[in-house]
Structure 1
Amino acid sequence: MSEFNTLHFTLDTGEVTIKLRPDLAPKHVERIATLANSGFYDGVVFHRVINGFMAQGGDPTGTGMSGSKEPNLAQEFSSEPHVRGVCSMARTNDPNSANSQFFICLDDATFLDRQYTVWGEVTAGMENVDKLPKGEPPREPGKILKARAE
């Protein structure tokens, strides 16, 4: 079980607090927390923000085509619904390709259930996620100024 329970993002739009869910996805929580505490996410943009759907970030190149140097993770799918505020891992068509990219649901997206790994839920600051500039990619993407897990 992960020792981490909370992830704090300082976005350029404000603070966001995420309750981590090691009960659902222990390996993914461990990865997110380790990357956050290493400074990996600091300065990383939200490269894909679709109004009424989700905000995606976690790619150090800001292109949506890259990740960390760590190996990809095996899926940890659950029946936890993808609803507003849920944090889940992005991946390619390969279900075992999650690495560092993640998304935060801006609205209910239950069509993603059991196909993507849910690892957390926003408990405070969802209005700051809502303020992220929209686009694929946004003209001036919002960014994570600092990320830390505890």
Structure 2
Amino acid sequence: MTARSLIPLLSATLAASLAACAACRKSDAPPGPVEGRTPASVPPGTTPADGAPAPLAAAAPPVPEAPPAASPPAEAPPERRGCPGGATHRIPESPDPEEGDFTLEEALAGLPGDGPGLIAVLHTSVADLRCTLDPTNAPRTVAAFVGLARGVRPWWDPCRGAWVRAPLYDGLPFHRLEPGFVAQTGCPIGDGTGGPGFAVPDEPRADARHDRPGTLALALLAPGTGGSQFYVTLAPAPELDRRHTVFGRCGPPEAIERLDRAARAGEAVRLLRAAIERAAQAPAGGET
């Protein structure tokens, strides 16, 4: 087993809590040492109180209004690291409102357009990535990703201590940025130790390869621990094949190269906004 073979892309505490309870609770303890490459630890910061997602009301509608069409944000959203005032992260205190069953149809409800393809536009602080999603081969992963990006899939806010419907990814840092390897984000706490309060079933395929830069895949520590964290490869990483759900391809190449240069320079990178668009054409069956 190589040092990168399991790419521990979620904290060990999160993996243990996933195995311990059906609600997919996660610990607020810092991650312990993990063999091989581990997520870069960053000091917790603060999150402004204004603009925080509202708790999910008991009678909340299953699908809110569609978000605006994809475009770069006029102003960068505030960076999200830690909880305001250093508040303790709270684990889920009630079951997932969706009971682990969230469909692609629910994730796409209200999305403008009618093309069969799906594009995720990742506006980062250094480059914009366009990622072709693969709902055919990874429908549950794409449903969760799109639902969290659009704010229609409930997730557990560890700072507010409530299930919320709000875009999860906007403003998050890339807490792990390794040159020549991966750029990873999607932790609602901002340091790589958190998740959405639910697990996404694994959908790995033998023919889904990490054979090029720009491979988009779900992060996990062990089978069945995937959630909101995802990564984009900055170079081929064949040791990750058949372990992680590959659910898209990102480009253009110059944007991936810009992310890699930022990693080599030790530059902090944020995901300003994750927008979802319909595309005129779906990816070919073997494209991802």
CA contact 2:178–2:263 (8 Å) conserved in 1:
no
Question: What's 1:127 paired with?
Answer: 257
Higher RCO, 1 vs 2 (CA within 8 Å, ≥6 residues apart): 1
TM-score by length of 1: 0.88
Work out the number of aligned pairs and report it: 145
| Structure-2-length-normalised TM-score | 0.47
Q: Which has the higher strand share?
A: 1
Q: In the alignment, which residue of structure 2 is the partner of 1:26?
A: 139
Structure 2: segments with no counterpart, 5+ residues: 1-102, 109-116, 152-166, 278-288
Correspondent of 2:220 among 85, 88, 91: 91
Larger Rg: 1 or 2?
2
Identity %: 30
After superposition, the CA RMSD in angstroms is 1.9
Q: Is the 8 A contact 1:73 1:96 kept in 2?
A: yes
TM-fit CA distance, 1:134:
5.1
Q: Unpaired runs of 5+ in structure 1?
A: none
Q: Is the 8 A contact 1:11 1:128 kept in 2?
A: no
Structure-2 residue corresponding to 1:81: 209
Distance 1:146 1:131, change over 3 A: farther
**Is the Cα–Cα contact under 8 Å of residues 41 and 60 in structure 1 kept in the other structure?**
yes
Displacement of 1:126 in angstroms is 2.3
What is the deviation of 1:32?
A: 0.7
Q: 1:145 to 1:131 in 2, by over 3 A?
A: farther
| 1:21–1:120 contact (8 Å) kept in structure 2 | yes
The answer (yes or no) to whether the contact 1:15–1:128 under 8 Å persists in 2 is no
SS state of the match for residue 32, structure 1?
helix
Partners of 1:132 and 1:76 lie apart in 2 by 31
2:189 aligns to what SS in structure 1?
Answer: coil
- The 1-side partners of 2:171 and 2:262 are apart by 14
The CA distance in 1 between the partners of 2:224 and 2:144, in whole Å, is 14
C-alpha separation in 2, matches of 1:33 and 1:12: 21
- Equivalent residue for 1:103, pick from 224, 227, 231: 231
- Matched with 2:170 is 42
